[in-house]
Structure 1
Amino acid sequence: MEKIILGKKVTMEDVICVARGYAQVEFSDEYCNRVNKCRSYVEQFSKEGQAIYGLTTGLGDNCRKFVPEKDREIIQRNHILAHTCSVGEPINEECTRAIMFIMLVHFGCGYTGIRLETLNLLRDMLNNNIVPRVPGHGSVGYVSLEAHIGMVLIGEGKAWYKGKLLAGKKALASAGLKPTVLSSKEGLTIVSGTTSVTAFTALALYDAVTLAKTEDIAASLTLEVLKGTLMSMDERIMKVRPHPDQERTASNIRALLKDSAIIEKYKGHRVQDALSLRCVPQLHGAVKKFIKAGLDVLEIELNSAVDNPLIFEQADGTAIALMGCNADGTYVGMAADVLAIAITDLCKMSACRIDRMLNHLVSELPAFLNKNAAYNNGLMMIQYTAAGLMGELRILSHPAVVDNLATCANQEDYVNMGYNAAKKAYDSVQLAKYICAIELICGAQALDCYENIGPATGTKAVYNLVRKVVPVMECDSPLEPYIEMVAKQVIDCDYIRNVEEKIGKILF
């Protein structure tokens, strides 16, 4: 089993390996040393009794109230209990695991003051796949989801272990683990930061890259079956508007269709194609640009210290606690809002291409790609699914970070709403894979209408992969299982791998 050793810079791929691939997490000596060193400063501060937010004081508007040393363990436990208030359906396993992994990354940066003992327990929970039950609604960007994970650390709450939902203490015991008693500052550290925002966004961005590449593939198949022209993909057009992502998209489509007998036969069939075919490099390119912008934000956020307060060693060897707001989720939240918009735009064009394939008035193909219209509906209803999904995507594309409600007696008069943005982006990608799947299914069915003309090498590979799970639709049958199977192929990168084996790398 793959291992991720924390101590150096982490990547989005590391998050995926742990969240989805169940990679085991280990700590390097460097990681352990900086955690222990920072912890020693926290213990020193606690003895000295200076006013430090969440360490010697209460939280939020209670920051004016001093907490004596004898009560600090109780207060840290209370921080977890009080913040455990998100509601509704729990988030899924991969999202919870991603949050737990990013907690380990952020807490191990050497500026939080959490104990290595606590991080060892969180790591062991992750490595044993103890998955806390984390309700998924009611976060403004931090605190509540993470508190549900903290509950299991202290032997409270609930968690899944080997398929069973157990009391937190029992889940730990089943894996041979014992709960911890939180010490100074640890309760605050657990609920602070941008871990949930970053986790959802990391998963969404990873899948968005896959979707953007696969939509280039789907669009190429659609262009071919609609007797399109490669004129609009001409390298000369791209060079005079030199957006790199636009150029790379056009290059992908040219590579996919370079030996298409269909494209060659119908060269000059139209003066120009409809915009959903002609404008693919421009729209897909823009989508990729803003996905990349999100990736840049994510790379920094994954490797940041996001607690409050943060502990710093000074030049003279002493330490200082600085109160700030690195726990704010706006950077990632805004990137997630933009991602949801980009994904919706990507699907908007895909939905237009789906319509062009199914609409015999413009496709020059049988209505709904059905050769036996007297008895069968063909793929008529699959477009309704795409339309419904587009309606949901448009709702999800409304930005979240622009909203605000003052909280905590106006001590937190601004909240970032990054969690809602990140969750929207994640949900958008989950819906978008179905629209991509529908376009691929329609494209394969349309290609069957060309009995004596061969497709391109690249699109033939796409067709063969669709046909592994979807038969030629000669009579009506339930379409949902086929959409699900192709959507899984999409998100598992199957189309990208298959095409790259035939024509080389799909550029991003």
Structure 2
Amino acid sequence: MPVSLSTRDDINLDTVFRVAWKKDTVEISEKALQRIAECRVSFLKLIESDPPPVIYGVTTAMGELASRKLEPDERDRHARIKAFAAATSFGDPLPDRVVRAIVLARLTNFIEGNAATTPRIALAVAAMLDGRPMPVVPASGQGGAGEILALYPLFAELSTRFDLEVKERGSLINGSPCAAALVADAALAGRRRIRMAQKVFALSIEAFRAPLEHYDAALDTLWGDEHETAALQGLREFLVGAGDGRRNYQAPVSYRIVPRVLGQAHRALATAERAANVSLASVSDNPVYIPPDDAHRLGRCISTGGYHNAMATPALDDLAAIWADICLLCDRHASKLLNGKVSLLPDLLMTGRHSADSDGHGNVGYVPMAITGYLEQAKLAAQRTFIPGT
């Protein structure tokens, strides 16, 4: 069933899951198309005013030439420039689901007329989500202000099908749909990852026969944090029916801090979910068109820094950091479980095997080595992100 878009609020995490992950199609409601058309008409009247307003990329040139005013005939020539010149990014391509999420997020600026683009461009962008192969969008080399190095190759083919008119090209390449899509994708993946982590740690807790008091319901109130409460409750969900014969002394640190660490995972996820929902519905165009009101009969167009999403990268950094911490905690658990003196289980979990028939590590003895490799990758990915210098 297609996802119907009528307002910006229709573009959210649930919509991203349906469109990007489940590959549902998208349709723009008739009400939204009418609003887009009406805003386009009033915008064209605005730029034909005498004297014409100064609007970046419409009545002026772009980039370093922004101070150069364009005459009406120059505007049309400028509008027809195709989106090829900035397609200079490189590296492995973004996953297909992320590209679909970017295309969906691109529609946010359109749906209430704030991009001042045409219905034909809005419909063409929505049609990219009909199941056809997505354009290749490289993941590296995105070092400029805004996201034009990713959005140029994404919409290059689409732009070749039209003689572009004023504001149409800018509506495709300006704004920050990539940041919105990436933090949304990370949040959706994070939901599943946290639940998987809770299952894995609960299994380790049970195998180790760690005292259940480390996860007691009394801690929900004593610690007083909603995210740590969620972690405690998640662990207890998978420890229902846990066996007896548990050790009568406290387990190692790595077992007792599990709910605290998972609490931070829930906290980071909540931040990412909020950043995603806000970003997905946020009008990030530059310049952005504000529809007519009593004070502005033809509306107005203002330049903004909306293309810079300052909340997405810190949210992604926090998620990356907690995944690295969880990798480290998994390494500690694996080491403890394989050490019979600590776990009270057979060394390396080997039973019924003569030492002459073993390489000394058994079937799972190499797991901590692999975990170390994953941990190093996770720590590398968790390096703090800063605004790139350009």
Q: Same fold (TM over 0.5)?
A: yes
Q: Aligned partners of 1:205 and 1:389: how far apart in 2?
A: 20
Quote the offset at 1:87 in angstroms.
Answer: 1.6
1:357 correspondence with 2:337: yes
Letter aligned with residue 149 of structure 1? L
Aligned twin of 2:71: 68
Aligned twin of 1:40: 41
- Seen in structure 2, the aligned counterparts of structure 1 residues 362 and 79 have a Cα distance that, compared at 3 Å, is farther
Aligned twin of 2:382: 397
Q: What SS does structure 1 have at the residue aligned with 2:66? A: helix
Aligned twin of 2:262: 284
The match for 1:145 among 139, 147, 150 is: 150
Contact 2:94–2:137 (8 Å) recurs in 1: yes
Aligned twin of 2:294: 315
Q: What SS does structure 2 have at the residue aligned with 1:225? A: helix
Letter aligned with residue 332 of structure 2? C
Q: Aligned partners of 1:294 and 1:90: how far apart in 2?
A: 23
Q: Aligned partners of 1:375 and 1:54: how far apart in 2?
A: 74
Letter aligned with residue 217 of structure 2? E
Alignment of 1:495-506 (within 5 A): none
Q: Aligned partners of 2:82 and 2:325: how far apart in 1?
A: 42
Deviations 1:119-148 (A, max 9, x none): 111222221423112222111351111111
Higher deviation after alignment, 119-128 or 76-85: 76-85
Deviations 1:268-303 (A, max 9, x none): x24201122111111101210121011112111111
1:117 correspondence with 2:96: no
- Seen in structure 2, the aligned counterparts of structure 1 residues 241 and 6 have a Cα distance that, compared at 3 Å, is same
Aligned twin of 1:384: 369
Deviations 1:55-104 (A, max 9, x none): 11111221011223223344234362222221223222111111111112
- Seen in structure 2, the aligned counterparts of structure 1 residues 47 and 71 have a Cα distance that, compared at 3 Å, is same
The match for 2:232 among 242, 245, 250 is: 250
Quote the offset at 1:14 in angstroms.
Answer: 1.0
Aligned twin of 1:229: 211
Deviations 1:4-43 (A, max 9, x none): 1011322212112111211010111232122112212332
Letter aligned with residue 295 of structure 1? E
Higher deviation after alignment, 235-244 or 143-152: 235-244
Deviations 1:337-373 (A, max 9, x none): 2221122223322222122223334222233323235
Aligned twin of 1:487: none
Contact 2:101–2:181 (8 Å) recurs in 1: yes
- Seen in structure 2, the aligned counterparts of structure 1 residues 226 and 320 have a Cα distance that, compared at 3 Å, is same
Gaps spanning 5+ residues in structure 2: where? none
Identity over the aligned pairs, expressed in percent? Answer: 20
Q: Aligned partners of 1:392 and 1:78: how far apart in 2?
A: 42
Q: Aligned partners of 1:40 and 1:334: how far apart in 2?
A: 39
- Seen in structure 2, the aligned counterparts of structure 1 residues 259 and 359 have a Cα distance that, compared at 3 Å, is same
**How many aligned residue pairs are there?**
377
1:11 correspondence with 2:12: yes
TM-score relative to the length of structure 1: 0.71
TM-score relative to the length of structure 2: 0.91
Q: What SS does structure 2 have at the residue aligned with 1:5? A: strand
The match for 2:250 among 272, 284, 293 is: 272
Quote the offset at 1:210 in angstroms.
Answer: 1.1
Quote the offset at 1:386 in angstroms.
Answer: 1.3
Quote the offset at 1:154 in angstroms.
Answer: 2.1
1:217 correspondence with 2:191: no
Contact 1:220–1:256 (8 Å) recurs in 2: yes
Aligned twin of 2:324: 344
Deviations 1:358-399 (A, max 9, x none): 333422223332323543431122222211111011011111
Letter aligned with residue 7 of structure 1? S
- Seen in structure 2, the aligned counterparts of structure 1 residues 195 and 187 have a Cα distance that, compared at 3 Å, is same
- Seen in structure 2, the aligned counterparts of structure 1 residues 33 and 351 have a Cα distance that, compared at 3 Å, is farther
Contact 1:208–1:343 (8 Å) recurs in 2: no
Aligned twin of 2:307: 327
Q: Aligned partners of 1:363 and 1:73: how far apart in 2?
A: 74
Letter aligned with residue 231 of structure 2? T
Aligned twin of 2:189: 207
Quote the offset at 1:333 in angstroms.
Answer: 1.7
Q: Aligned partners of 2:118 and 2:267: how far apart in 1?
A: 40
Contact 1:106–1:302 (8 Å) recurs in 2: no
